[in-house]
Structure 1
Amino acid sequence: MEKKAEVEIISRKAIKPSSPTSPQSRKLEFSLLDQVIPPIYTAVILFYTSNTNQSNDSSFRSRSEKSDHLQKSLSKTLVHFYPLAGRLNNNTSIECNDEGAHFVEAEIHCRLSEFLKEPDPSLLSHLLPTSDPKATELARNAVLLVQLTEFNCGGIAVSVCPSHKIADASSFCEFLKSWAAVARGHDEVARPEFIGASMLPPVTDQQIERSLEALGDSFITKRFVFDVSKLANLKAKIGSGVQQLVPTNVELVSAIFLRCAIAACQSTTGCFRPALLYQTVNLRRRMAPPMPESTIGNLIWGFPVVVEEESKMDVGDIVARMRKGLKDFCNEKANIFKGENGYSLVFESFKLEGEFFKTGMRMYSCTSRCKFPFYEVDFGWGKPTWIMNPLYAMNTMTLMDTKKGDGIEAWLTLEKQEMAVFESNEELLAFASINPSVVI
């Protein structure tokens, strides 16, 4: 593919709810967990080939027809997800003023098949509305941005970018499922519940929002695809140990990532450096009683997995610590987020993180979107051919199932020198391929 292929913006507009938000719902306060989330947009890019139309419906032949269909169905969906049509009010709330989601329509002058032969993170970022300076200027403080990009072959990419202040992975998935259901003409869609602030109210007397440092030129993002069949032997080996611990695929990939990242850091610095991996947990299913999946907002938290000694880098050891950390977190902490003690838990976690940082410990994070049904998102012309979940943050890995379920796709950002060592690690390459072509 011609690496200089550029995205041409065709139009920009605001999509408002098809009916106005009621006066009593005009303001949505953040929960404390919303407040501590960095002020970034999360994103998913859904790719559809021109022949994914499984119903042989000829209603969506042109980009304009698909765009009109998406806009109308989005407008109807925003009636229920009304905060997504509002504007951010600092770090306290969303003004649900119906100003609308920002919708960008664009073209890219190449074929989708060429684009996906070797997915390039720097090119993929241009399919996001957040990469368009004018869009971000026009949509200042917008909660939701969307971009529809058409390829020369008629294939499309639908990029959806809600503010992380209101959308964790579960919230994001609920919104996409509802939007797709509305687009297919379904009347029965899940009704979102915005109850985070009533569970853990916000604070107003101190600055608690965490920021993310700009990556700069010293960091690079790459894609790896782990083969589930190749993980099976390692899983069996660990499971046959004394602890009888059978790892999940996500645990294995996370442990391999941490082990290889530590080795890469050691190779470039010349010394072993203790490391910590934060594993993100969806609190909804971990609370008692569980919260409904339709609960919208940030109901996530992370628990630390620490490797302090070079002798403790075995994958099985790391997996065992992950499993114990998750069990302890679920048993001792998950339910605390429902009440006043949630405040002390949040700030104690910040204090512990600061102590780790002062010791010079290298910090990593891993977020999994595995098991979420993103590949079921059908707006009326078929299911996605490929999905990308970009998150460009330092020392961060995001995971997602491949479409067929035979692999786990990982997007990883590391310092360039460390990435060069990381991607040549023989242990890693025994289980993963570096940026293989997306098969259409």
Structure 2
Amino acid sequence: MKEPWASGYTVGNLIWDPIALHNNNDYLQFHSSNNEAKTLQQLVHKLRSSIEKVDGEFMGRLEGGAGREEHMRNEEMRRKMMAAGAQSGSKVMHFVVSSVIRLGLYDVDFGWGNPVWVSMARFADNINNLVALMDSPTGYGVEAWIALHEQEMTLLKHDNEFLDYAKSTPNIHYNTYLSKLNQYSFK
């Protein structure tokens, strides 16, 4: 019988960062194209394809002891991507999307009832290009905590197409990190 890669008492998440490459030609094509929807679909397809590679077969390789090699391969790809961007004068941007949807965080009861509101763990104060998804307190819908550079956030806050799907909720100011986040609830 194969030994499990983690003990039965292990708690936590496996974090893996699939990489999807998007070059300046794609960007220029998207912004100059009369068919932006098709180009956007192509970009979304790249992201989904990258995420779908983290499947059962991939997890089997990690369990089989190839986890270190997979990690090193991923890091090498990241280094090459950063070097190619620097060499070409292109800006390499990272976007992080994290999700705790359907983990039942609002069902946890530590003896004084279910929580009224749940938040994500604190990230570094200078983080940008982050989207954290979680269930809404009502259980109907999704909250997205979004951290962007100020200029990009201003554009997003005035994007009517985005706002058709999302309702902005007030910023939560209990520390410096959350004061820069913007929270949206999706219908």
Match of 1:341 in 2: 66
Aligned to 1:324: 49
Equivalent of 2:94 in 363, 368, 376: 363
Cα contact 1:378–1:384 (8 A) shared by 2: yes
SS at match of 1:410: strand
Q: Which residue identity is paired with 2:150?
A: K
1:37-76 equivalent positions in 2, closer than 5 A: none
Deviation for aligned residue 1:364:
0.6
Cα distance, 1:423 vs structure 2: 1.8
Matches within 5 A, 1:132-147: none
Distance (whole Å) between structure 2 residues aligned to residue 337 and residue 435 of structure 1: 40
Query: TM-score with structure 2 length normalisation?
Result: 0.67
Give CA-to-partner distance per residue, 1:128-147, whole Å, 9 cap, x none. Answer: xxxxxxxxxxxxxxxxxxxx
Change (3 A) 1:390 1:199: closer
- CA, structure 1 residues 410+296, in 2 after alignment: closer, same or farther (shift >3 Å)? same
3-state SS of paired residue (1:306) = coil
Shift in CA distance, 339/306, structure 1 to aligned 2, threshold 3 Å:
same
**In 2, are the aligned partners of 1:423 and 1:429 still within 8 Å (CA)?**
yes
Distance 1:397 1:325, change over 3 A: same
Q: What secondary structure sits across from 1:366 in the alignment?
A: strand
Alignment-mate amino acid for residue 93 of structure 2: R
Q: CA deviation at 1:297?
A: 4.4
Q: Are 1:199 and 2:29 counterparts?
A: no
Distance 2:41 2:48 in 1: 11
What amino acid maps onto 2:77 in structure 1?
L
SS class of match (1:307): coil
Shift of 1:298: 4.5
Residues 401/389 of structure 1: CA separation in 2 closer, same or farther (3 Å cut): same
Q: Residues 391 and 398 of structure 1 are in contact (CA less than 8 Å); yes or no, is this contact kept in structure 2?
A: no
Q: CA RMSD in A?
A: 2.9
Residue of structure 1 in register with 2:10 after alignment? 295
Note the residue ranges of structure 2 that are not aligned, 5 or more in a row: 31-35, 86-90, 173-187
Deviations 1:84-125 (A, max 9, x none): xxxxxxxxxxxxxxxxxxxxxxxxxxxxxxxxxxxxxxxxxx
Q: How does 1:273-288 map to 2 (within 5 A)?
A: none
In the alignment, the residues of structure 2 paired with residue 390 and residue 397 of structure 1 have an alpha-carbon distance, to the nearest angstrom, of 13
Pairwise mapping of residues 164-243 of structure 1 onto structure 2 (< 5 A)?
A: 199=5
Q: Name the % identity.
A: 25
Match of 1:408 among 138, 142, 148: 142
Higher strand share: 1
List per-residue Cα deviations over 1:340-374 (Å, max 9, x = no partner).
32211111111111222231321111000000011
Tell me which of 415, 420, 425 is aligned to 2:154. Answer: 420
Q: Return the offset for 1:331.
A: 5.1
The change in CA–CA distance for 1:394 and 1:436 in structure 2 (over 3 A counts) is: closer
- Structure 1 position 385 matched with structure 2 position 116: yes
What's the counterpart of residue 307 of structure 1?
A: 22
Please state whether the residue corresponding to 1:363 is helix, strand or coil: coil
**1:433 aligned residue (148, 159, 167):** 167
Aligned-pair distance for 1:333?
2.3
Letter in structure 2 aligned against 1:395: N
Q: Which has the higher contact order (CA 8 A, sep 6+)?
A: 1
1:5-24 to 2 correspondences below 5 Å: none
Question: CA separation in 1, counterparts of 2:153 and 2:100?
Answer: 23
Which protein shows a greater Rg? Answer: 1
* TM-score, length of structure 1 as denominator length: 0.31
Residue number in structure 1 paired with 2:75: 350
| Count of residue pairs brought into register by the alignment | 151
Secondary structure of residue in 2 paired with 1:346: helix
CA offset at residue 422 of structure 1? 2.1
Q: Counterparts of 1:325 and 1:371 in 2: how far apart (Å)?
A: 22
- Alignment correspondent of 2:132: 398
CA distance in 2, matches of 1:390, 1:424: 28
Of Structure 1 and Structure 2, which has the larger fraction of its residues in helix?
A: 2
In structure 2, what residue type is equivalent to 1:386?
W
Q: Report if aligned partners of 1:375, 1:387 keep a CA contact under 8 Å in 2.
A: yes
Cα distance in structure 2, aligned partners of 1:373 and 1:297: 14
CA distance in 2, matches of 1:370, 1:297: 15
The one-letter amino acid paired with 1:326 is I
Q: 1:437 and 1:342 mapped to 2: Cα distance?
A: 39
Taking the aligned partners of 1:306 and 1:405, their CA distance within structure 2 comes to: 34
Give the drift of 1:383: 1.2
2: distance between equivalents of 1:417 and 1:431?
21
